[in-house]
Structure 1
Amino acid sequence: MQPASLVQTEMYLAYDVGSTHTRAYLFDVVEGVYRLVAIGYSPTTAFAPLGDPRLGRPMGDAWEGARRATEHLAELVGLPLLDEEGSLAVASLPEGPATAFAMASFGEPVRAVLMGILPSLSLASLQRVVADTYTQVVEVFSAVDSDDPETRLTRLIEAFPDVVLLAGGTDQGAENVLLEYAHLLRQAATFWPLAQRPWILYAGNANVAEAIKEQLGKYFEVRVADNVRPSLTEERLGPAREAYWDIVRHWWIDRYPGLDHVFEETEGRLTFTAEGFRRAARILHAYHAPSGSGMALDVGSRYTYVWYGPRPEDVQARVVVQGLGWGLHARLDDPAFVEEVSQHSGLEPAEVRNFLYHKALYPDTLPMSDTELALEEALAETLIAGQVREAWRTRTPSLSFALLRGGVFRGAPHPSRALLTALHGLQPLGVTVLVVDLTGAIPAFGVLAELNHYAAVHLMGSVHLAPLAVVVSPRWRTGRRGVGEVLGELTLTYSNGEHMSLTMQRGLLQRLPLAPGRVGLLSIVPKRGVDVGAGYGVAVEIEVPGGLMGVIVDNRGRPLPSDALTDKARWTAMLPATLA
């Protein structure tokens, strides 16, 4: 007999409307605990008709793709999730979902203009407000600009922004510069069509807020948020970030047909995939490495979301308009990017370039050969490597936690290929808890955690959120005093007192089993010239969680030699054929 649930059980339906695919996730209680039950799929139909229904998006209606994904999900679980009119049967049927919510990541980036006083204060804060949204900053104005008024007006008009963010001055601080910006915006308004004037978000000196709203309210839709810099030593981004997210959400709803229907069907519970991923990354980082560094990347078709920091409470985030499909357009004519993909794949630059153009035009195509699979994995590795370098200013960061998501991982022919793609992209140093989203459900988990804390706790113990592996990645000194073939000794002690040991062999991938839900004590004694994250020759002892592939010891070196990047068949043979 199963124990009774301690919480009131509710079924949750979640949508993720991406650039190429729309997914519907069903979360429900199974044997007393919340689990991801099933996933429904459909091509995304949010874009205007392209003249060929075979392309999978003939409707130009975001809700149509969500409805199709719901139909697929209903077939899988045998529940009536839609009523006779094709609307969600939320809370109307005893066996149906009680709550629905949606996430989106398919739209064009919002064009933003930032206006502040000092680049190092108000403008830096505004950059952080927009950094983790789907935004392209097209122009920046500061009080130290040397341009004359006419040039500034021309710059603003030609930027043609969707949103203008205005901040500066502490409370009780500077006012004149902010009022000058308001005058500049009033001048620019006469050059922009009424229907295409930008939203204005003011998050500066509170004493000027009413004057700004009064001067600009006749010309623009104006939102006011708390000052991002109420004092020189205090930064308060939360209210401005929340207001900006709301502006972007409404901008997308106005721009893309059917998204308003998604908003209505979910009773206003529409957020962005990046926000759900951010919440999930914060929770998982704090859970697996509460005092260690971490990095999370969601590599989508149009965007890549990057989240990193030395501790869970001290992180930075940004959305980059680069991806594995629509987001490739920015890199098609970048010879350095093509060359790096070539190095990761072992294929000629001309072949790489042809693949990039094809993938940019047809982002939802699947690899149909070993060559195409190698190119897609190499492309993901190169995108990840670029973000690693930009975030950490090194190619081999010391990471205690890493989270990766994207179609290249969900569609991997075997989790071992997903593991290799993650390792070749990140190239972490030390002991890393590596979580790879093999179902795509992690952003939905992040949103669900805000709605139902009990569900989040239950799901933390599910296989969908279990680490793919705990990875041990040593590096060593080279030269005359370099190390030999043996890098050190490693022992894994299980909770029942049993233990397994291995000798770390240079150039190999090695494994010790540790199943999800179990915990082990990892003891590593490196040779004098070997570093496993604590310094050369310094031993490490750390408690680690179980993973789908256990503990993987990557003895190939850091940074990885070029031949290691291309010989995936060799490395796959060293990894387990079945999961723990």
Structure 2
Amino acid sequence: RTVSANLGMSYSVANVVAEAGLDHIRRWLPFACDEQSLRNQIKNKMIRPTTIPQTVADLQVEQAIAREALRLALEQHKQLAVGLKGVQQERSVSDAFAQTASGQSLIDMFALDLIIGSGGILSHAPRRVQAMIMLIDAYAPLGITQLAVDSIFMMPHLGVLSTVNEQAATEVFVKDCLVPLGTCVAPNGTGKAGERCFAYRLLLPGERVVEDRISVGDIRLLPLEANHEAGIELTPTRGFDFGAGDGKKVTGKVKGGVVGLILDARGRPLSIAGDEAARVRQLQTWAQAVNLYPAEGAGGWGSGTGKEKRDRD
């Protein structure tokens, strides 16, 4: 267990900018913006941390910073979760920690089958799909990974309650706190945009079968309701791996949620265009594919009304 207390979305937002760099934050923005305007936006957030975004563009800036904060926290965790040098190790945590050579990170992203996000930026995202995409972009999960979010940012409080009444804290956590978002399916590897990435065969409840293929650089959202489970068969092309080896078929189960099933063929590591115009087109295409933001709010600074209600579906 590790804590990155210096990475946050209020007074410590400047630490995120300093560690990640402004270019890493700007790469997540689906609109063109100059450096000074972005710096002003971030500094205003730092001195007024309790303010909420007034436009969709303001929201996109905050969620871009959140992606980098989450990414940096995971990188710090990987650096700290390493094997002891020169000491024989005994596996005692879980299969998510691979037995590697001493001094190397123990984190195996293929073995992580559940990611839970907590914090105001995730719990209070206007659309649950925004929280799911932030987690996917930041952590770049591999294979088949279920994602969930803290409903109203109550996990820290349940941690305190568990010291007094563990059973009550557990019941609240399962029934009221944890909101299943869905499942992300993503292979490791990169390729040329437009080429075939993998084929999938989905066995849905009611014995309904969906078969299709997805190209490199695409992301797709399929409906799969909460409390529903489906079987999936994944056949990657050469150069892509779902955990069984390069180009080898994998079968498994995917669980639904308030968002659904996301098939992510954008590649690992995720490649974002360096040219600003190309980046804007790329991010807007991805956003439209999963209905990430309202269409009228994609124009950049000053666009959108900021009055969109939470869409949990």
TM-score by length of 1: 0.40
Structure 1 pair 496–371 and aligned structure 2 pair: CA distance change class (3 A): closer
Aligned partners of 1:363 and 1:331: how far apart in 2? Answer: 14
Structure 2 CA distance for aligned equivalents of residues 452 and 335 of structure 1: 37
SS in 1 for 2:217: coil
Rg (Cα) greater in structure: 1
Match of 1:385 among 68, 71, 82: 71
Q: Assess, with a 3 A threshold, how the Cα gap between structure 1 residues 526 and 552 changes in structure 2: closer, same or farther.
A: same
Corresponding residue of 1:575: 290
SS in 2 for 1:347: coil
- Show CA shifts across 1:27-55 (max 9, x none): xxxxxxxxxxxxxxxxxxxxxxxxxxxxx
What's the counterpart of residue 148 of structure 1? none
Map 1:470-549 onto structure 2 (within 5 A).
470-478=183-191, 485-549=195-259
User: Structure 2: how far apart are the matches of 1:388 and 1:440?
Assistant: 20
- 1:348 partnered with 2:34: yes
SS in structure 1 at match of 2:285:
helix
Q: Is the 8 A contact 2:198 2:237 kept in 1?
A: yes
Q: Secondary structure of the equivalent of 2:137?
A: helix
Which of residues 170, 185, 194 in structure 2 aligns to 1:456?
170
For residues 312-461 of structure 1, what are the structure 2 equivalents within 5 Å? 316-330=1-15, 334=18, 337-345=21-29, 347-392=33-78, 397-398=109-110, 399-448=112-161, 451=165, 453=167, 456-457=170-171, 460-461=174-175
Structure 2 Cα separation of the partners of residues 468 and 551 of structure 1: 9
Alignment match, 1:250 = none
Aligned-residue offset at 1:552: 0.6
What is the identity percentage for the equivalent residue pairs of Structure 1 and Structure 2?
Answer: 25
Aligned pairs for 1:261-300 (under 5 A) are none
Within 5 Å, which residues of 2 pair with 1:28-67?
Answer: none
Tell me how far 1:511 sits from its aligned partner.
Answer: 2.6
Structure 2 counterparts to residues 185-200 of structure 1, below 5 A: none
Q: Which amino acid aligns with 1:338?
A: L
**Alpha-carbon distance in 2 for matches of 1:390, 1:519:** 34
Kept in 2: contact 1:475–1:531 (CA 8 A): yes
For the residue of structure 1 that corresponds to 2:198, the secondary structure is strand
1:492 is paired with a residue of what secondary structure? strand
Say whether residues 1:468 and 2:207 are aligned partners.
no
Deviation string for 1:425-448 (max 9, x for gaps)?
222222111112242123344455
Query: Which runs of at least 4 in structure 1 moved beyond 4 Å after TM superposition?
Result: 393-397, 445-450, 564-568, 576-580
Separation in 1, partners of 2:27, 2:75: 17
Larger RCO (CA within 8 A; separation ≥ 6): 2
Q: Helix, strand or coil: the match of 1:468?
A: strand
Q: What CA deviation, in whole Å up to 9, does each residue of 1:257-305 have, x standing for no partner?
A: xxxxxxxxxxxxxxxxxxxxxxxxxxxxxxxxxxxxxxxxxxxxxxxxx
> Partner of 1:531: helix, strand, or coil?
coil
SS in 1 for 2:248: coil
Cα distance in 2, alignment partners of residues 407 and 449 from structure 1: 21
Residues 190 and 269, structure 2, Cα contact 8 Å, conserved in 1: no
Distance 1:568 1:579, change over 3 A: farther
Q: Please say if residues 483 and 529 of structure 1, whose CA atoms lie closer than 8 Å, have aligned partners that are also in contact.
A: no
Looking at structure 1, the residues matched to 160 and 258 of structure 2 have their Cα atoms a distance apart, in angstroms, of 24
Gaps of 5+ in 1: 1-315
Q: CA RMSD in A?
A: 3.1
The residue identity in structure 2 corresponding to 1:420 is: I
Aligned-pair distance for 1:495?
5.0
Structure 1 range deviating more: 357-366 or 523-532 = 523-532
Deviations 1:347-371 (A, max 9, x none): 3332232222211111011111233
Per-residue deviation at 1:412?
Answer: 2.2
Unaligned runs of 5+ in 2: 80-104, 293-310
Distance 1:548 1:369 in 2: 24
